Chains A and B, each alone.
Chain A
């Protein structure tokens, strides 16, 4: 069924693709309080601690924070609009963030965790119109937008939903329909006492089907990060003190003998992003400013950006020059290791003409204390061990769930949202059967699970259920 409501919604309002900055819009009365969970106000025109406290038409500088992990996602500017003085006429928030797709996706994901769902095509405009914020003439245009949007979405959905992924989701749906039909049969046609054996058999069949499909669904959801990387590239940040060999390394990695896909402008003023392919894995290499404590204001901004790049990356290569002291090596990365976790950081000892770093052993030990366990020694000039860097990228990619070679990756965040909810419902349904809460409870949850999957496959549940029952079972009394 089509959901028409006034729930808080969010969407990115600037065009897709990488840009300098992007604007994410949130609308719906009460959205401020919901968004407080993922918004940290750093500086504002008054003594405001919460985003929802900001008066209408005022801004604050702050951060979007993942409410589950507490990690900072991006530094942003929040603008608050009070009902009815906004584009839609509802309470609204605009988040001006950095323009990379990874950042945008992450912010939308965080808002989702706070209970703000993704908007349907044209939904902001429709609300604006309903709330009297748009003229009759524009209403005509709104309808065109709704239509063209839905056509485009349909096409996009079509292309996303072909091939093996579509088939897999369809199979999950079919299998769960089968389980559902069996449950409904048990509910609809009461077995006699002498039939309890076959009833038990049916129930265990249902439980097994649900468990099997749960695994498939789980793997699909797990593969979303991989899918996102496929559609938006893996972000690998090169971080280190100045002259630690970052640029040389970057040049080597993007050398002419390697496939340079495109060169894109840096998303922030002080980082340079370069797109490369590593064994078919699309990677964006981010070269950052050197991390050095500095009195220079301009340079300190650059370092802030570098830290951000590190935080938002999938992987970080921390470059350690041969002449660096143990102390500097530790301070250069400690904050980042704490923020994103050492397992995403690889220590890279660069080698120059002077030879290896004499303190390598010591530095290794110190960094290991921070959770950094992977170390490589490279020499860009001699292309020595460069492939080891590529190995790190490849290993990380392969460690992610999902089976790319079979075309089984979810790349669309709406699909991911739906399937993730479906997975949650399916878990509840399995639990309901396990603690014998009742098959009617299991059925109710399974129904909403199928509703969620139906939003991906474009099918509604109740209409086809009766048909499934009729076609599969011989019905008794």
Chain B
């Protein structure tokens, strides 16, 4: 399991050094922050997909719920992290638990579709929030403050907060998967009948896992809205959910750190291609197709192929 793990560690180390090594221009910092935040969301999705076998096509909604919680609190004058963070995480977790309670009753394709449906509901709810910009989105009055300090406005501090939280979410997700709880999730993913025959009902475990992944995505949402000081319904669109899934697959399902690589490569590729041509999606799309068809184990499969 641990082979190839040097690669994501190397990537995190590179991100830690980058601002000190001259990559501190505004657009570089913005780019890295975006990559790290998306990586965090992708790790939480990878926990669901690779760990629990729950392929959600509505994960961006959890990110969006976290982000909108920040926006709504901001509009009402609450900007302190001690208030914002618990509310945003709680909202994302509750959203995941409520929708998961219904979605997890289904499986396979129906699960994919019903998570998509809930994602769309969240998207349209966001569009209906006319007090918070509706379709046009909402611009924050101020970034979230930490103990009264405008810490997040310091680009360097924000960078390391993102990096720290990314590393933390990787660690937390790994810990969860290795725990008793995670063992039941993994067993039920691979062979639900077996898990049931020894006495485990998968449903509550999956639901709790779904809630946890939602909460982690909520944290990513808090950071994302702080990074751009802006949130709009587009953040919750199903295309965003598709991109998150792509990061997970590109990195390699079944290894949490694959999602980190997937997200970094995704953001890097997107940026690089967009500089090349305005029609970069015409290159990106086929790349996606080819990577799915040719790279079965994802990037992680390249550096650490699995046996059997």
Q: Do A and B bind each other?
A: no
Residue positions of B touching A, CB distance < 8 A: none
Residue positions of A touching B, CB distance < 8 A: none
